Structures are given as structure tokens and as C-alpha cells.
Amino acid sequence: MSECIFCKIVKGELKAYKIYENNECIAFLDINPINPGHTLVVPKKHVENILEADNDTISAVFTAVREVSKLLINKLGASGINIIHNAGRAANQEIMHFHVHVIPRYDPEDIGLVDWWRRNIKKLNLEEIYRRIIS
């Protein structure tokens, strides 16, 4: 998939704030975060979504999701995590490469899961958040 933005990140052709990597997956900060530390976990091999992925890929992705979740809680002080996967255009999947959103939640927050996309937050300093996570 030469035009897939996530494949380009996996290959190192595009810059990303990578916070986790293993043999099967990488995780990097979302460039349009809902909260500080909002991370995408992506398998290194191209597959469109969970419906197309084999069991080994699904297992690898969710193992990485767990490790990233722990990292965000430990490094950023998150008090909870939302884990979201959008499968297909009808579910608002924008990039057709399997990925899982790991979204740290902080107490107290005045925003619920249902209306979070309406949140108008200032552009977060990804470099600062990245340094906090990898330190």
C-alpha cells in the first residue's frame, strides 16, 4: 500500500512521535488528539481493519494497546483509558489501515465519550507530550 499514510510511518518515510514498537506493531501520538497522549496503535503489516485482520494481528495489536495504556497511565498520570476502533467508512474510519485509538482520560473531565469530538481543545504540543512519555 504505497499511498497508505500509516504504511509510510511504519517504513519511516513519514515522521511520527513513536512511543512504542515491537515486531508486529508501532504506536505513535495522534496529530489531532482528543486528550494529551492520544495514541494510535497500528500493525506493521497493512490490513484494512479488525474485520479483515487475522487472529495473530488482532492479538498483537491489542497486546500493544495494553502496553501503551500502561505507559500513558504511568507517564502522564491518566486515570482511565478509552480504547476505540472504527471499522469501515460508516463507522468513521478515515485511514483504511487497522488502527486502535488509545485515549487517556483525566479526572475530573467534563466531557463524555459520546460528545468528545465536539471538544475544541487548543493544539497540543506533541513534542512536549512525547518527551514526557519516553522519559
Q: What is the DSSP letter of 79?
A: S
d(C-alpha 30, C-alpha 25), whole Å:
15
| Cα-only R_g, the chain | 14
**Whether 99 is catalytic:** yes
Omega prior to 108 cis, within 30 of 0: yes
d(C-alpha 90, C-alpha 106), whole Å:
29
List the catalytic residue out of 85, 97, 99, 101. 99
Looking at the annotation, which residues are catalytic?
99
